[in-house]
Amino acid sequence: MSKKTSIIDGILLGLTGVFMLVSIYAIFLYAPIEKSMQSGGVAQKIFYFHLPLALLCFLAFFIVFVASIAYLYTKHGMWDRVAYSAAEVGIIFCTLVLITGSIWGKSTWNVWWTWDPRLTTVMILWCMYVAYLMLRKMLEPGSQMLNIVSVFGIISFINVPITFMAIRMWRTIHPVVIDKEGVHISQPMLHTLLLNFAAFTLLFVVLLRMRVRIEGTEQISQELELALEE
């Protein structure tokens, strides 16, 4: 790892830590408590984690989609590393979306889970990208495996816009905060949401950079082992 890369990583980690601390302060001391019982009162504050995590998990799966297309076009291993790494980070964020959503749902609806269209499509999305990771482990390593998982990564992205539009296409009990009429939260709540989105975006970038680098090192190690065996 070069000195320049180390400096960039240090800056990103430092910014992530600062933004996380400021965001936590804003959540608990700056943003007001939601008065509507439908939003869960104090439990509504989990929204500041839930929404940024959801948007960034969509971004991760979009990166898988683009990188998979790029790999099929160029056959360059870098694009496969990016797709694989983005899928892993996306699964982490999607899992946190399901967990935070369930906690919020328990407070608001008095159930941990309900087969609401938005919740159901998120669960399907999670299953599809878990299947993507499993497929990589099940198939024999090689160009054929990379072609198959790239196609699967492209197809899986179809569910992302469906998940995003679920609360607009079907009747749902999932709260709608942002629509074509604007943002339906107070200014302090909006500021807090933007702070958290910035913090989690920085965390997303840090995790993706680290995972791509680790995957590249692992591939070099595997190639060296094969060369030694031959």
* Confidence grade of residue 71 (pLDDT, cut at 50, 70, 90): very high
- Asked if 12 and 37 count as a contact pair (C-beta separation under 8 A), the reply is no
Q: Which residues of 77-91 are buried (b: 16+ CB within 10 A; e: fewer)?
A: eebbbbbbbbbbbbb
Most confident stretch, 6-10, 100-104, 207-211, 216-220: 207-211
Q: Is the dihedral of CA 168, 169, 170, 174 positive or negative?
A: negative
Question: CB atoms < 10 A from the CB of 9, how many?
Answer: 15
pLDDT given for residue 178 in this prediction:
62
Nearest one of 84, 68, 32, 72 to 158, comparing CA atoms: 68
Task: Give yes or no for residue 36 having a pLDDT over 60.
Answer: no
pLDDT digits (tens, 9 = 90+) for 119-149: 888 999 999 999 999 999 898 888 899 999 9
Count CA atoms within 13 Å of residue 84 on its CB side: 25
Do you know the residue count of the chain? 230
**Selected residue with higher pLDDT from 37 and 5:** 5
Amino acid 143: pLDDT: 86
Residues 94/122, Cβ–Cβ less than 8 Å? yes
Res. 22 pLDDT band, cuts 50 70 90: very high
Tokens at residue 89, please? 């980070």
Region 45-66 average pLDDT:
94
Q: What is the CA radius of gyration of the chain?
A: 20
- DSSP lists the bridge partners of residue 149 as none
pTM, whole model, 2 decimals? 0.87
pLDDT band per the 50, 70, 90 thresholds, residue 31: confident
Q: Quote the pLDDT of residue 37.
A: 44
211 contacts: CB under 8 Å, gap ≥ 6: 85, 88, 89
pLDDT band at 199 (very low <50, low <70, confident <90, very high): very high
Sign of the C-alpha dihedral computed for residues 167, 173, 174 and 177 taken in this order: positive
Rounded-to-integer distance, Cα 197 and Cα 183, Å = 15
| Residue 180, pLDDT score | 60
pLDDT of 129:
96
High-pLDDT (> 90) share of the chain, %: 52
Q: Which residue has the higher pLDDT, 149 or 38?
A: 149
